[in-house]
Amino acid sequence: RKEVEQDPGPFNVPEGATVAFNCTYSNSASQSFFWYRQDCRKEPKLLMSVYSSGNEDGRFTAQLNRASQYISLLIRDSKLSDSATYLCVVTRPGFDMRFGAGTRLTVKP
């Protein structure tokens, strides 16, 4: 079993839709959590950190459930430009960062 697991998708949604991605992690000692975005043939870029209290950045909302070892990302009012692969990232003590395989999103007109 991989340490960080994501639904690979692809998720194909129309513009304006709300879409949610889930991520589970196996190491209960994990400390920091992030969502990165990666466009096709580009490098990953930080989308947002994920805090225990949940956090929002515009149309994006991230949630963390430590008890269930589960992270989510919600995108509201999807735009064409949101089409990308979304990578769930988890770090352990000693800062051993682990990436999920990513969830691919395609937003269609």
Partner 1 sequence: EAGVVQSPRYKIIEKKQPVAFWCNPISGHNTLYWYLQNLGQGPELLIRYENEEAVDDSQLPKDRFSAERLKGVDSTLKIQPAELGDSAVYLCASSLASGGASDVQETQYFGPGTRLLVL
Exactly one of 30, 102, 105, 107 binds partner 1 (CB under 8 A); that residue is 102
Q: How far, rounded to the nearest angstrom, does the alpha carbon of residue 12 sit from its chain's CA centroid? A: 16
- Measured from the CB atom, the residue of 15 and 45 that comes closer to partner 1 is 45
93 binds partner 1 per the rule CB under 8 A: yes
60 binds partner 1 per the rule CB under 8 A: no
**How is 21-69 classified by DSSP, letter by letter?**
EEEEES-TT--EEEEEEE-TTS-EEEEEE--TT-EEETTEEEEEETTTT
Instruction: Catalog residues that contact partner 1 under the rule CB under 8 A.
Output: 4, 8, 31-32, 34, 42-46, 49, 87, 91, 93-102
